[in-house]
Amino acid sequence: MDALNRLVESNAISRLAERDASLFTDDIDARIPVMQRFGWTDLAEKAPGRFILLANLADALVEEGATDVVLLGMGGSSLAPLVMSRVFGSAPGRPRLHVFDTTSPVAVASAIETLDPETTFLVIASKSGTTVEPLSLYAIFRQWLETALSRTVAGRHCIVITDAGTPLEKLRQRDLMRMALGAPPTVGGRFSALSMFGLAPAMLIGVDLEGLIARAAAMENACHFAASENPAALLAAWIVEANEAGCDKLTLVMSQEFASFGLWIEQLVAESLGKLGKGVVPIIEYAATPPNTYGPDRAIVVLRLTSDSQLTTWSREIAAAHPVFEITATDTLDLGAEFVRWEYAIALAGFLLGVNPFDEPNVAEAKSATNAILAGTASVPSAGADYDGTWVTWAGSAPMPAPKPADREMALRDLFGGSREGDYIAILAYLTDDETLLAPLHRAASTLSAATGRAVCVELGPRYLHSTGQLHKGGPNSGIYLLVTARDRADIEIPGQKFTLAALNRAQAEGDLTTLAAHGRRVMRVDLPSSERGVVTALAAEIGRATL
């Protein structure tokens, strides 16, 4: 394996363990921020020292009658807790965890209507302490708490996870919030699964952290082995060799128990490796697809339980036509080991691909565009067609066809029909994280993929802005983007802000539209009259038919 030899020849495994920033850049000045991002390499070893504090906090919340914990965060601050809550659920007697990495007023309004402020506790998670989504959501939920509780008691219902000295930590003091849990400043968001950002929410819902961390610590040790026996080095070398052979669509197929883990891997891979025109495109498969439907650009990772005989058979069948890297897990506690394996692997893959895995140079662009739209200082590409209340906008290097498509389905057919060998299609949907709403889109994505041979993914906005958004702008220009928004009437005022939650949600979508267009990406926006299930299902049906 040539990539593995390159790791050996460069002594990359030892240099990573020694936190050698020269592994990722020859620029002396650029090494300083890299040196400040190596704190994740021993998180599993250090985690048990935090257990007593977290266990005491979890017990206290149960004694105070907590039934629900609402986590407000984005990207690296929210995806690991989201995955652990879906993989493990809540232990008996522990509160349920609701992860809000959205600015959807529909989702927030539903939570406010159904949760009880007297038994609901907030966790506000932001490494920088300046992230607009959790801060805006905190302002809304805090006002909601204070409709039923005094200011002091409402403050006791709020817990902060952030770096020391951030604006969020100072807000905690002003708002009399219960406590701040500090995260290591040397750990970047997407590498923070085993820091307080992941450990605290997991402990609150009763995850077996001792078992999880024991598996993680064993993997942490194994990631220092020689390359031929190193699970992270083997994965990194396989990813890079597949990528260099044209198989850059890293397709994630997992046993059902691990299905949500793909969301975390997706961010780690896309944001760490998608830059400088390079990139590995993660594709989450929610069901094992017939082997003959994949194009030649697929490299497949199979993560399966040893007891999953169906996926074992599928893996053997698909390996006849595509490169496959198979990982077996004894049980779900092996999730701890996989967090570590993938972090080390992607760091080593960054070295092999010649990119810095610890920065995200293009993420700030969409944020700046969003702020400019909210401030009224930036314009948004206008719709080129109105199909019975659905407004369609063509932007970037996907201009409106001539003649103009007769209907919405024809517009979709034209967009997808322009795909080329090696392209992928991303459906960027600003909708609520509701499986009944999203299932038709996932089915349509599978149909579209089978019909075109292209990899197709469904991404939720604004979540993807802190995940695959880096790859969309900074990676290779091989994506076709269908941006789906909706003009729902639901809206919520954000205390202390001049804009509403709906305005923020819409500005985020439009900020990404303008940024993708500025990078010359092929993008089309479909602005639906609402996000009602029937409206979304009808669009999904048209996506599925668009290549027939």
Helix (H) or strand (E) holding 304: strand 298-305
Neighbours of 214 (CB within 10 A): 17
Report if residue 17 sits inside a domain.
yes
Question: Does residue 388 fall inside a structural domain?
Answer: yes
Beta bridge partners of 484: 429, 526
345 domain residue, yes or no: yes
Specify if 305 maps to a domain: yes
**Residue where a domain terminates, one of 289, 319, 353:** 353
**Residue corresponding to tokens 């990631």:** 223
Length of the chain as a residue count: 548
Amino acid at 392: V
Q: What residues have CB less than 8 Å from 267, skipping those under 6 apart?
A: 75, 76, 79, 190, 466, 467, 468
What tokens appear for 120 in the block?
């609901």
Tell me if 212 is assigned to some domain.
no
Interatomic CA distance for residues 358 and 525, integer angstroms: 31
In this structure, the answer to whether residues 390 and 507 fall within a common structural domain is yes
CA dist 139 → 30, 492, 498, 517 (Å): 37, 11, 13, 32
Same domain flag for 203 and 237:
no
For residue 410, count other CB atoms closer than 10 A to its CB. Answer: 15
Same domain for 400 and 538, yes or no, is yes
- Residue 541: C-alpha distances to residues 294, 426, 438, 447 (Å): 21, 16, 12, 10
User: Which amino acid is residue 346, in one-letter code?
Assistant: I
Domain with 128 in it: 42-207
Kindly state the helix (H) or strand (E) to which residue 82 belongs, with its residue range.
helix 79-88
Domain-terminating residue out of 186, 207, 228: 207
Q: Which long-range contacts (CB under 8 A, 24 or more apart) does 403-411 make?
A: 408/526, 408/539, 408/542, 409/542, 409/545, 409/546, 411/385, 411/387, 411/524, 411/526
Which of residues 323, 353, 383 is at a domain's end? 353
Query: What pLDDT is recorded for position 293?
Result: 84
pTM of the model: 0.97
Q: Distances from the Cα of 36 to the Cαs of 188, 233, 330, 364, in angstroms?
A: 9, 22, 35, 19
Q: 383 and 506, same structural domain?
A: yes
Which residues are bridge partners to 526 per DSSP? 392, 484
The number of distinct structural domains making up the chain is: 3
Query: How does strand 390-396 pair with strand 522-528?
Result: antiparallel
Per-residue pLDDT of the chain (548 residues; tens, 9 = 90+): 699 999 999 999 999 999 999 999 988 888 999 999 999 999 999 999 999 999 999 999 999 999 999 999 999 999 999 999 999 999 999 999 999 999 999 999 999 999 999 999 999 999 999 999 999 999 999 999 999 999 999 999 999 999 999 999 999 999 999 999 998 999 999 999 999 999 999 999 999 999 999 999 999 999 999 999 999 999 999 999 999 999 999 999 999 999 999 999 999 999 999 999 999 999 999 777 777 789 999 999 999 999 999 999 999 999 999 999 999 999 999 999 999 999 999 999 999 999 999 999 998 898 999 999 999 999 999 999 999 999 999 999 999 999 999 999 999 999 999 999 999 999 999 999 999 999 999 999 999 999 999 999 999 999 999 999 999 999 999 999 999 999 999 999 999 999 999 999 999 999 999 999 999 999 999 999 999 999 999 999 999 999 86
For residues 167 and 146, state if they share a domain: yes
Taking the C-alpha atoms of residue 547 and residue 374, their distance in angstroms, rounded to an integer, is 37
Please report the pLDDT score of residue 183 as a whole number. Answer: 86
The Cα 548–Cα 538 span in angstroms is 16
- 206-258 pLDDT, tens digit each: 999 999 999 999 999 999 999 999 999 999 999 999 999 999 999 999 999 99
Cα separation, 324 vs 320, in Å, equals 9
H or E element that contains 479? strand 479-486
d(Cα 441, Cα 438) in Å, to the nearest integer?
5
Inside any domain, residue 397: yes
Q: Under DSSP, is residue 354 helix (H, G, I), strand (E, B) or coil?
A: coil
Residue 358 lies in a domain: no
Taking residue 198's Cβ as centre, other Cβ atoms within 10 Å add up to: 31
Whether 412 and 546 have beta carbons less than 8 Å apart is answered as yes
Q: Are 533 and 392 found together in one domain?
A: yes
For the domain that residue 447 is a member of, what is the CATH number?
3.40.50.10490
In a domain, 494, yes or no: yes
Count CB-CB contacts under 10 A for residue 484: 24
What is the pLDDT at residue 371?
A: 95
Do 238 and 182 share a structural domain?
A: no
237 shares its domain with 101: no
If asked whether residues 148 and 237 sit together in one domain, one would say no
- Tell me: the pLDDT tens digits for 378-387? 999 999 999 9
In this structure, which amino acid lies at residue 430? Y
Q: Cβ-count burial of 473 within 10 angstroms (0-12 exposed, 13-18 middle, 19+ buried)? A: buried
Same domain for 386 and 324? no
Same domain, yes or no: 312 and 427:
no
CB 505 within 8 A of CB 430: yes
**What's the pLDDT score for residue 97?**
98
d(CA 503, CA 318) in angstroms, rounded, equals: 45
Q: What is the largest CA-CA distance in the chain?
A: 67
CB 400 within 8 A of CB 385: yes
pLDDT score for 64: 98
Say if residue 540 is in the same domain as residue 430: yes
